[in-house]
Amino acid sequence: MSPRPEDDDLVIEPADDDGLHYGNASMEGTSTGQRPYIRLTSQLRNATKNAGDEVRFRCEALGTPPLKFIWLKNKGPVEKSKRVKIRDKESSSRLVITQLDVLDSGYYQCIVSNPAASVNTTSVLRVNNVPDAVKSQRKDHITPRSQLLSTNTKITR
């Protein structure tokens, strides 16, 4: 049995630990005396989508507040845009990408940190290119048969 750490010690557990990470931190406004910790409560899942689809990644963690979430794509920060939305809550963050393109394919990583440590989870997104003929079929609305006949009928004499 290892000796109990002092309050100002940094504890690094072996690789087969329980996923909890402890550290020394001074946190203004906290008087609980509780040691800071952090752990992931869910893992990102790999996804395969078609171009034009939408993907949602959710990253969840428990730990001593504040939790900070960072999203990376291929080791660089995810850039927010009209198609790329990030929504952070107290213990989770969601990344939503709409109108997927093959260029959105890559490794997506969520890093969660607090004064104790940081933890991360990674997913692979594969976006299949959809042929133009399939894209146009997906966008077409169901049209009554009589309308199709009237718009596709050509009368010749």
Q: Residue 94 has what pLDDT?
A: 98
Q: Quote the number of domains for the chain.
A: 1
Domain containing residue 59: CATH number: 2.60.40.10
Rounded to whole angstroms, how far apart are CA atoms 122 and 59?
Answer: 10
- Identify residue 58 by its one-letter amino acid code: R
The DSSP call for residue 58 is E
Q: Is residue 28 part of a domain?
A: yes
Q: Is residue 155 part of a domain?
A: no
Q: Is residue 68 part of a domain?
A: yes
Rounded to whole angstroms, how far apart are CA atoms 67 and 113?
Answer: 6
Task: Report pLDDT digits (tens) over 71-124.
Answer: 999 999 999 999 999 999 999 999 999 999 999 999 999 999 998 899 999 999
- C-beta pairs of 28-36 under 8 Å, 24+ apart in sequence: 34/64, 35/7, 35/116, 36/63, 36/64, 36/114, 36/115, 36/116
Q: Residue 147 has what pLDDT?
A: 44
Backbone angles phi, psi at 59, to 5 degrees: -120, 125
pTM over 0.75: no
- pLDDT tier, 138 (very low <50, low <70, confident <90, very high otherwise): low
Task: Report pLDDT digits (tens) over 12-63.
Answer: 444 444 555 454 444 444 445 678 899 999 999 999 999 999 999 999 999 9
Q: Is residue 56 part of a domain?
A: yes
Residue 98 lies in domain: 21-129
Tokens of 98: 């709409």
Q: Is residue 143 part of a domain?
A: no
